[in-house]
Amino acid sequence: MKLAVLNSTACQSSYGRLSYIFNQTAHNTIKTSHRVLACSGTNINMLHTPNGHLSTLQSGAYLEKQFHQSLRRAYNPKRKYQAQSIIISFSNEEFDTSDLNKQATQALQLVQGYVYQHFGDAQSVSCVQCDGDGGKIHVHLLINTVKTNGKTVPTNRFSVYRMRRDFNKYLERNFQLVTGRKWSNSFNKASPRKDAKEIITRSSWEQQLKQTIDQVKQEVCNVIDFINRLSTIGIQIKERGKKKRWTYTQIIPDKNGKPKLHRVRAYYQRKDKAGHVLSTRGLGQAYTRQGLEDYWRQQLEKEQDITPVQSHYRKEVKANDRKDVQTEREELIKIRTLARDAQAAANQRQQRIRLNIQHIQTTEAEERKQRNKSQAGSTNPRRGNQSRSKSISQQRRLTATTRRRIQEHQERAKRTHGKDVGPNF
């Protein structure tokens, strides 16, 4: 049996959708000339006939006004989406339209029962029609996204997958009660995929990873060889955190054939402040670095009779382990040296910046001092003239003194040699 088709769309205006549902003529008159066969609503007032039954002729403006009253109570009355439009189209196996009025009432009863269970706290309007091109019975369901108390209906409740699942469950329980006919979910009888066993899921990948690790750890005796052997088959080991805990990663194709990165921790426990274990993840303690090293050590201890070849091999393993430790120490020293060099370079740059700033400040101070002096000299010209006069007087006295010394020298020479002696410049 084919199932009903469900479509969900968000609407910015409930008036346009309500007018489309109630205030238009039938689109296709092959099976009926009526636009609406049956209608109902929840938490909303609708027009009735004189005999008290709900009328198939409703006013879109009247219903939209009630939707808008709930919108005014919302935290954000100017929210973009006001209603959710849902169309449920039943298959010919569910309703064959042989008795249109009766089946329209049954379809409305099923949809309204579903609405009462899952959207009973919001305003909604349901309308059954059969004027589509396919000639199938379908129900227009319009739900206000704001409840009558002003709270908003969560958007995940309008998910097509969720609504489809809930509506199927409701039909399984109530379709036979309403129609008298048995309803079966054809999706439950769907044949499995032929390649279902070949599709690698996360759990199956982790199981295969464990088997691979168990095989490889028996073929090697140290961490270096273990990591290299796994890398040759596409499995990488990454270290995380200060304690360098392991994470296994591998790229494998998904069900669509696209490459996808799978990763899993070797072992991880989440604890609270008191030290109690809250959850445990990963492959297990046996797949951590410490667990593998313990395994290899136990394997060596189990060997009681050691041949010379085995003894030589054990020495090589120990030597490799020592080399690994020495290499790790050298790498750590190298990293620390680089860090110190980087810090020293940063300190030198800071020192140069401070010296440049001090030099600029000193230069600016000297310039301000020179400007102040020049301004002071221009404001007091009398003092400047006095300073220049004083300098000229000093030069004159110095010239007179020099001439007098020259004359004394000439006179002294005459007395000494008896002739004139010019100045020796």
425 — pLDDT class (breaks 50, 70, 90)? very low
Higher-confidence residue: 148 or 138? 138
Please say if the pLDDT value at position 395 is more than 70.
Answer: yes
Q: In this predicted structure, what is the pLDDT of residue 407?
A: 83
88-94-98 Cα angle (round to 5):
110
201 — pLDDT class (breaks 50, 70, 90)? confident
Mean pLDDT of the chain: 82
pLDDT in tens, 39-63: 999 999 999 888 888 888 888 889 9
Please say if the pLDDT value at position 199 is more than 70.
Answer: no
Query: Mean per-residue pLDDT for 314-332?
Result: 68
Please say if the pLDDT value at position 281 is more than 90.
Answer: no
Q: In this predicted structure, what is the pLDDT of residue 421?
A: 46
312 — pLDDT class (breaks 50, 70, 90)? low
On whether the CB atoms of residues 127 and 85 are closer than 8 A, the answer is no
| H or E segment and range at residue 51 | none
Q: In this predicted structure, what is the pLDDT of residue 86?
A: 92
Q: Any residues with CB less than 8 A from the CB of 11 and at least 6 apart, and which?
A: 17, 81, 82, 83, 84, 85, 142
Higher-confidence residue: 189 or 335? 335
Distance, CA of 203 to CA of 208 (rounded, Å): 9
pLDDT in tens, 87-145: 999 988 889 888 889 999 999 999 999 999 999 989 999 999 998 888 889 999 999 99
Residue for token pair 């609407």: 11
Distance, CA of 95 to CA of 110 (rounded, Å): 12
Is the pTM of the predicted complex or chain greater than 0.85?
no
Q: In this predicted structure, what is the pLDDT of residue 1?
A: 47
> Please, what CATH class does the domain formed by 5-189 belong to?
alpha beta
318-323-324 Cα angle (round to 5):
95
Average the pLDDT over each of 50-64, 93-107, 235-249, 375-389 and give the range with the smallest value: 375-389
